[in-house]
Amino acid sequence: MTEGARVLQIVAHPDDDLFFMNPATVHGLRAGTPSATVYLSAGDADGRNPMRLQEGLAVADKAAYTKARQNGLRAAYGAMALGNPRAPWRSAVLPTSGGYAEVYTLQDRPDVSLVFLNIRQHAEEPGPRRQLQRLWAGEIESAVTIAPAGGLVDAEYAYTRDGLLDTLRQLLGLFAPTLVRTLDPDPDRLVHDPERFPQHRDFGDLSDHHDHTAAGLFAWAALDGYQGPQATGRFSVESFRGYANERWPHGLSPQAVSQKEFYLNLYGGAEAWDTGDPAGSGDYHIAFNTRGTGWLQSTTPRYPAATRWLGQDPKGRLTAFAVVGQQANAWMQAEPGGDEWTGPFPMGGGPLAPGIAPVLSSDGRWLLFALRLTELTQDGPQGRELVLLEQSEPEMPFHPWRTLGNPSAGGERSRHLGGPTAVRDGLGRIHVFVRNAGQGVSARILDPGTGWSDWLDLKGSELQEGLAALTSHDGRVEVFAANRGAVHHWGQSEIRQPLSRGPRFKLTVPGAPPGGALQPDGRVMVAYRRPGSIRIMVAEEDAPGGRWGQPAQPAGGRGGFGPVVAAPGPSAAHGTLLVTRSDLGGVAYRFWPQETPWSELPVPDGAFAHTPAAAYDAHGRAVVAVIGLDGRLHVARQETPGHGPFTPWRAVG
């Protein structure tokens, strides 16, 4: 799958990739995917880097601490890419639009590079603190760098805001990635209190470090104008939450956590690892101390894609919608149930966050909902809005994109909008749902007779991004969301009544956003990850439209991270297909409630981006789709209807 794939990660500090992007990083490296990581900040902090039991003896030496963190990263990447923390590296100096970057390339994997811009976290007194954040905000004209002890660059330079953006664009052109990973440009707002959520390292009322947020914003802004390798437009973008991980139930399995911890210990200069550099062998704060932060126990995508981005059109042809090149794209079977696909068909709309939420109108027209990030290159408050692309007639062109606004219009709160999910009810009305800035649910409804409603506040609090919505057996709409303490549920008592949250509905604590489905027998089910476990939990109605009398039950699993996909089959004999990312980086699946074991669809060459999708074709065969690290759609289908194996993956476009 990684033919032509290239990954570029843009982070703030050395270790952000290890804490917040792994295991996605190591999956790609093990797959042989070319990878480069750019570190904007030197991460020099106060310059103290004490070894264990020497906390009171360390002296401040920012240049040495900067070099020690670089040494630790080389050990971690050598181990991830080659299984050898002592693997040799080549070094070079790269002129940039503001100074010189240090570039280290693995000698035996020359497609793996680390790029250090070495911007100081805080300028020397009496200079400004929070340089990256203030540079993004336009509060300072430039941010100064540091020369690492014994490093390649022995002088200090300064990056202006435009100079840093130009440098990132230069690196995008140099590495030509098909997947760009960034940190979270829009962290959640968080009310701090001494018992539940102490301030820790958050910035103001945001749930992340100020450098993480600035790095995410710089990365997204630099993508403006990037057209992918050879101007093909074939690339995708995924962002990851940072310090917010410590505030939520942990989403990774013990095995995945141990893997992350191993590489972080290498980065931290664990006792058995010594480079011989007098500057230090790693970030000694980190060695054997990573679990206490609460950051490594989860890997949390920002803007998780809605799970139903693959489905049948009115003619029975499977159609997929995803964001590639920051624009909406579509792919379609040439004929119902066939093996030939056409696409991608670019549909514009960008810059879009990952994920399209498609829904068919009652007269067979596609409506596509997405989250657009606007004003990324401008100073001041950023803009985020829900946008819509609507087909004029079945099988006909689409109207121009239009905005549906934001329930928190205006000001900084508009940045905290989640991605949409959408469904059609039994009356033909279209409901679109988003998580709002208050971490509750907001909705708009399109009535064919009266048009769009205003924003409706469905309440809720402390919800994780990633909503699941479906239509029940009698046409009523239901919504599920992951709260810190349980899975919450909204529904309609009657089809014409507004949605309200079920006060007594409370499933166990989720470790990631849930997936929901109307099963072939007419009962609604919801599936979600159990925190700190490889297991998936499944809960079902007792009868169609009935009570949820039984607690969620474990359904096994293969670990991984991100939402659970639930695709109902055409009959009770098929059951419902559950699909997730696995700890191995591939796709894990099983059929529910049949007594089938979890199986692995090992994605060719090991990895993919975003949330997978699943649906059944016109012949009753299950089909799974992913966006590969190469920015292309890949599909695998069952060889025959039932619960049998899948064909090899096929790349489309």
Determine the average pLDDT of the residues in 503-525. 93
Residue 43 has pLDDT above 50, yes or no: yes
Instruction: Tell me 187's DSSP state.
Output: P
In the chain, % of residues over pLDDT 70 = 97
Q: How confident is the model at residue 125 (pLDDT cuts 50, 70, 90)?
A: confident
On whether the CB atoms of residues 471 and 425 are closer than 8 A, the answer is yes
User: What pLDDT was estimated at residue 574?
Assistant: 94
Determine the average pLDDT of the residues in 8-32. 97
Q: What is the pLDDT of residues 616-627, one digit of tens each?
A: 999 999 999 999
Q: How confident is the model at residue 381 (pLDDT cuts 50, 70, 90)?
A: low
User: What pLDDT was estimated at residue 1?
Assistant: 47
DSSP secondary structure of 439-501: SSEEEEEEETTTEE---EE----SBPS--EEEE-TTS-EEEEEEBSSSEEEEE-SSTTSPPEE
Residue 2 has pLDDT above 70, yes or no: no
Which class does domain 7-293 fall in?
Answer: alpha beta
Range scoring the smallest mean pLDDT among 183-192, 196-205, 286-295, 446-455: 196-205
| Rg of the chain in Å (alpha carbons) | 24
Q: How confident is the model at residue 52 (pLDDT cuts 50, 70, 90)?
A: low
Residue 504 has pLDDT above 90, yes or no: no
Determine the average pLDDT of the residues in 82-88. 96
Which residue stretches of 223-290 are H helix? 254-267
Range scoring the smallest mean pLDDT among 155-169, 277-291, 387-401: 277-291
Residue 151 has pLDDT above 50, yes or no: yes
- How far apart CA 587 and CA 583 sit, in angstroms, is 9
Indicate the average pLDDT of the chain: 93
Domain ranges in the chain?
Answer: 7-293, 308-566
On whether the CB atoms of residues 92 and 148 are closer than 8 A, the answer is no
Residue 478 has pLDDT above 80, yes or no: yes
User: What pLDDT was estimated at residue 377?
Assistant: 64
- How far apart CA 148 and CA 150 sit, in angstroms, is 6
User: What pLDDT was estimated at residue 53?
Assistant: 58
User: What pLDDT was estimated at residue 56?
Assistant: 62
Q: 308-566 in CATH: which number?
A: 2.120.10.10
- Helix %, strand %, coil % for the chain, to 5? 15, 35, 50
Residue 274 has pLDDT above 50, yes or no: yes
**Cβ partners under 8 Å of residue 650, min gap 6:** 339, 341, 634, 635, 636
Q: How many CA atoms lie within 13 A of 590 on its CB side?
A: 19
Residue 605 has pLDDT above 80, yes or no: no
SS (H, E, C) 535-568: CEEEEECCCCCCCCCCCCEECCCCCCCCCCEEEE
Which of the two residues, 367 and 191, has the higher pLDDT score?
367
Using alpha carbons, select from 386, 354, 331 the residue that is nearest to residue 237. 354
Q: How confident is the model at residue 29 (pLDDT cuts 50, 70, 90)?
A: very high
On whether the CB atoms of residues 430 and 361 are closer than 8 A, the answer is yes
Residue 127 has pLDDT above 90, yes or no: no
Q: What is the pLDDT of residues 206-255, one digit of tens each?
A: 899 999 999 999 999 999 989 999 999 999 999 999 999 998 999 999 99
